[in-house]
């Protein structure tokens, strides 16, 4: 068949017990296209529509293990029938909001905790369609609020470690999710398991008289201003707490600088 423009079809999905192939009479499970003339075709690629992928409604089986199906002369031509069959699907799909892919980043509070949560959405009928979303989208899909197409998507929360050596911890977290959920290809989604991490010397500094006023160390290269701002904010807070703790233990009171240090540009 020729290319079908998006305006001429809509996508949906079936979990089974609804349709069968018109030629082979085998039950079909997965995504399917609803053409403007009411015809149903297996798959979601409009460039690969074949006669063999034509779907028809699944009917009750007869005693000889064959199926009672629609008359062949009506297959793909009964526009009214298919429109009535999928009228509810059309209305629901028109009301769904599109899922917006986002790239959340940790806050300074997250760096102080040492972790933050990331949220990944997956199509139920696919092992390759993954999207990172924000917390609000994740909650809406998980609670099946109807804002998005909850029947087609599921969402998973991931605890993402930010400390030095985070790659190993995050790898174990992803393995656990793969083992216990349908997110079987999740490991392919993340290219960098140490993304956002900071070295221990910054998140757990050890204050000594020699380094109490050392300049701020250079942060790992990151092009996202929000990440750099969060890292700097966390480092300032952690460093100041460490200074106060050190001064208290050393009997220096509330002073955060040494008499010989020259505080300009201090860490």
156 pLDDT band, cuts 50/70/90, is very high
Q: What percent of the chain has pLDDT over 90?
A: 23
Residue of 217 and 10 predicted with greater confidence = 10
Please, what is the Cα angle at 245 between 240 and 248, to 5 degrees? 125
* Strand ranges of the sheet holding 153-161, from the earlier edge strand across to the other edge: 130-133, 115-123, 153-161
Predicted structure pTM score: 0.55
155 pLDDT band, cuts 50/70/90, is very high
Instruction: Round to whole Å and give the CA distance between 160 and 158.
Output: 6
User: What's the pLDDT at 64?
Assistant: 46
Residue of 80 and 136 predicted with greater confidence = 136
Domain residues of the chain, as ranges? Answer: 6-95, 108-188, 200-250
Q: Which two tokens stand for residue 242?
A: 């460490």
User: What's the pLDDT at 90?
Assistant: 53
Please, what is the Cα angle at 130 between 125 and 134, to 5 degrees? 125
pLDDT at 113 over 70: yes
Q: Which two tokens stand for residue 76?
A: 């793909």
Mean pLDDT of the chain: 75
């Amino acid at each position: 068949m020729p290319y079908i423009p998006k305006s001429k079809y809509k996508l949906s999905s079936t979990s089974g017990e609804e349709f069968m192939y018109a030629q082979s009479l085998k039950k079909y499970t997965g995504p399917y296209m609803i053409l403007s003339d009411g015809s149903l075709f297996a798959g979601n690629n409009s460039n690969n529509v074949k006669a063999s992928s034509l779907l028809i409604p699944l009917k009750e089986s007869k005693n000889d293990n064959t199926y009672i199906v629609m008359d062949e002369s009506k297959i793909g031509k009964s526009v009214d029938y298919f429109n009535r069959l999928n009228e509810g699907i059309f209305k629901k799909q028109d009301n769904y909001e599109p899922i917006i892919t986002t790239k959340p980043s940790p806050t300074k509070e997250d760096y102080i905790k040492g972790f933050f949560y990331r949220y990944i959405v997956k199509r139920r009928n696919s092992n390759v369609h993954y999207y990172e979303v924000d917390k609000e989208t994740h909650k809406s899909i998980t609670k099946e609020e109807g804002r998005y197409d909850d029947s087609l998507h599921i969402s998973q929360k991931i605890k993402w470690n930010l400390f030095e050596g985070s790659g190993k911890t995050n790898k174990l977290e992803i393995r656990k999710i793969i083992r216990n959920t349908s997110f079987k290809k999740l490991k392919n989604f993340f290219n960098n398991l140490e993304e956002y991490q900071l070295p221990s010397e910054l998140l757990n500094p050890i204050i000594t008289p020699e380094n109490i006023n050392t300049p701020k160390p250079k942060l790992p290269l990151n092009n996202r201003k929000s990440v750099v701002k969060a890292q700097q904010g966390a480092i300032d807070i952690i460093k100041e707490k460490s200074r106060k703790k050190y001064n208290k233990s050393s009997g220096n009171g509330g002073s955060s600088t040494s008499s010989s240090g020259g505080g300009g540009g201090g860490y």
